[in-house]
Structure 1
Amino acid sequence: MLPTNDGADRGQLLVIIGLLLGLAFVALALVLNAAIFTENFATREVTDSERSTAYTSGMEAAIEGAYDRTNDNATRKAVHATATFDESLRTWVDSQADAAAERGAVFEADWTTHDGWRLRQDADGSFAPDDDADATDWTVADDAHNVSAFELSVTRDDLYEGADTAAFHVYVSDGTTDWELYIHQSGSDIVVSQGDPATASEQCARTTARAVVDLRNHTFDGTNCDALEIPGTIEGPVEIGYGNVQSSAGDERVVGTYTLVVNGTGAIETNGSNYPERFNVAGKVPPTATAIVYAVEYDTHYERDDIVYDREGRYAPREEAR
């Protein structure tokens, strides 16, 4: 029997409803897929960003490790300090670049190494240079771009006794401005004077058998002392020297130890083989000169798809001052 008109209408309605439901499910599926894609893309962006930060942040830790290994190595030539540091850091950078390439990313790094010298007398003795035991005045460092440590430990009984310019002194000069610090004995005191001890307005005294003079931190026997402040008018590379380390007759006017750390490959005299001229090499009888890495400037680059991260920095563990 043929269907009546009412049945046909109901059938058509069901077909239309079915089509609408189908379209709704298709639309819902598209929306869900888009949401999943967006979430996955966003997650990938976050992951890539975190990786880029990790790569570039790891650079400073790698520099620190290479820096410590180099400077603990008793290196005798500046060129060897550079080579040791660069080889160590290059190994790390290459491994990171390979790891990034496996993820379809690019990691690159460049750096500039600033070499210097650690000058040290670590056993009590005369402050004369290694190559001239009879010297009275001499240049310890020249063309030093920065100084990060300068400390002297002196014994009172070996100091010159008298408030005049015959006493041992340290001098610093930039070629235009000169600065002098005299250290002498006065009874049971050790006295430091900025300029001529007889007329100095800045002077400090300590009643002690031995005292540490820290020119970098401006302390005398652990206490702040204005006489140790080098004026800000001294700028640029400087010359640092000792005067009156002994009399012309050979009488000591200072005995003790010292440490001076300077920035600059050419900050000390070297011979034709690039070994220190006025100091013994590291590991020998003091005074010694050890080549070090003073500071490192670097930049890193990480790139993957639309993620690009560049970073520049400077690694200098010691606060620097001219």
Structure 2
Amino acid sequence: MAAVTGDRDRAQLILIGGLALAISFVAIALVLNSAIYTHNLASRYDGGGDDATTFARDARAGAGAALDHANGAGGSYAAVEGNYSEAIGNVSEAFGRSAAVSGRLVSIDHLSESRGVRVVDDEPGGSDFRPANGSASSWYVATDATVRNFEMTVDRTSLDDLGDSFDLGSLFGLFGGSETPFTVRFEDGTDTYLVAVYADEADDEVKVQVYEGDDGSGTEVGTCSVVADTATVEYAAARVNGERCAPLEALDDLGGSLDVRYDYPDSAVGSYELVADRLVAGEDAVGPFVSAVNDRNFGYGCTDGGSVFNGTADPGPHAVPALYDTTVETTYESADATFTSEWRVAPDERTVPTAPRIESFVVNDGTSGDDQFDLSWSATDPNGDPVSVEVTFVDSDGDTETFTAPGTVTLPTALQGDGPYDVTITATAGGESRSVSERHADDGTSGPVGCPT
């Protein structure tokens, strides 16, 4: 019996040892699983943050597409704003459905917008880049404005064939000669850049050359080219047919508000568009933007010169209501965190507007007597600074009078009977100013004359 008892004791010891070892393995496994679980939680949290960042980036791109869609659909400011609101709702819903599959909640909400103007010439089949009032060797498309989404498409066979070794600097002193390539001039009041678009037919290329300066002492920045029958030039994105064009990146050195001018606009056929942070006054396209551009082109002389824009009608260049930028709020919710952010949406923008916007400016012949005018205006500042406004009348003798409050005003004796009057509104905020000038008559004329006609 003693032998049997000893065997049982050894068996129990082996069993107890095995159980202890098993418990040790389980404990080790629990520790390892706990570490893995903790790492997974951290990874999911980090991933959630990354996903939130990715969502915010994609949401801004979606909002930008909605903005371009609404501007392209056209119509009044109310119509554009309505189309954008609907489009951003559709974008938010699409993102929401996709995120719900992964157990996340996302949304994009429209908060605010800033009105602007869209300049476009998209006549079917293309047209040259001359203004609506006929032939011109050069004309300003936009003046004293921040510009975004500026792009054009040109037909290679319509461009001047200047070969492979053309130097834009050689043009100075040769204006009116045989070398007259279509050129876009950018001016910020201090610096000037020229962008010539021409052809090299020997290689079936469209070439884009950038030149810094406005005379022969300037500097050629560089030239990029693309083999194509048509070429799309994106000025802010610095691309030609979707490919990087490094010389166009030099335009980033320009300041905020620009004058944009076309030289030799009959040397190219195609289409173009841009969005500027000035306004028109409704679907008739009369308003601060058109008046400022006409003034830049004609120097108040719009009675004889007409307008460079065709109202809102096709064909030809026209200026239509648009949204310059918008602000959206993005919200991302997961099991681990919630992220909410505000984003400004302004696709293909080179610089952010800082100058005040003159949203409306109306000068009408007064009804109470000779030499009276009814003045009204609206101006805002993108930075929220208070805006001060002055309206100055200059008669044909050069006498002036300035008013700072809207309403019915009576010109002083020195100005009476000496019309028409060049009327300039200047809005100032945060140390920056913007002006719009128009020419108006006194009694005997119904409504404004000159700019606009």
> Which band: TM-score by shorter chain?
0.5 to 0.7
Identity across the alignment (%): 22
Q: 1:282 to 1:158 in 2, by over 3 A?
A: same
CA-based RMSD = 4.2
SS of the aligned residue for 2:190 comes to coil
SS of the aligned residue for 1:157 comes to helix
Counting matched residue pairs gives: 225
Over alpha carbons, which structure has the higher Rg? Answer: 1
Contact 1:295/1:314 (<8 A) preserved: no
Q: How does 1:61-210 map to 2 (within 5 A)?
A: 71=71, 74-75=74-75, 113-122=113-122, 123=124, 124-130=126-132, 132-147=133-148, 149-162=149-162, 163=166, 164-165=170-171, 166-188=180-202, 189-195=205-211, 200-210=220-230
Could you give the per-residue CA deviations for residues 144-197 of structure 1, whole angstroms, max 9, x where no partner exists? 2241x111111122112333532111111111011111111223322211128x
Structure 1: gaps (5+ residues): 1-59, 89-109, 246-251, 300-310
Is it true that 1:240 corresponds to 2:260 in the alignment? yes
Corresponding residue number in structure 2 for 1:57: none
Is it true that 1:225 corresponds to 2:251 in the alignment? no
State how far apart, in whole Å, the 2-side matches of 1:286 and 1:238 are. Answer: 23
Displacement of 1:137: 0.5
Displacement of 1:70: 5.8
Could you give the per-residue CA deviations for residues 276-313 of structure 1, whole angstroms, max 9, x where no partner exists? 842223453232222112223589xxxxxxxxxxx883
Identify the match of residue 293 of structure 1 among 313, 323, 335: 323
Corresponding residue number in structure 1 for 2:310: 280
SS of the aligned residue for 2:157 comes to helix
Q: 1:179 to 1:221 in 2, by over 3 A?
A: same
With normalisation by structure 2, the TM-score equals 0.41
SS of the aligned residue for 1:230 comes to helix
Q: 1:264 to 1:161 in 2, by over 3 A?
A: same
Identify the match of residue 342 of structure 2 among 304, 313, 317: 313
Structure 2 counterpart of 1:169, which letter? T
Contact 2:156/2:230 (<8 A) preserved: yes
With normalisation by structure 1, the TM-score equals 0.56
Structure 1 counterpart of 2:262, which letter? Y
Displacement of 1:68: 7.9
Contact 1:81/1:291 (<8 A) preserved: no
Higher relative CO (Cα under 8 Å, sequence separation at least 6) belongs to 1
Structure 2 counterpart of 1:313, which letter? E
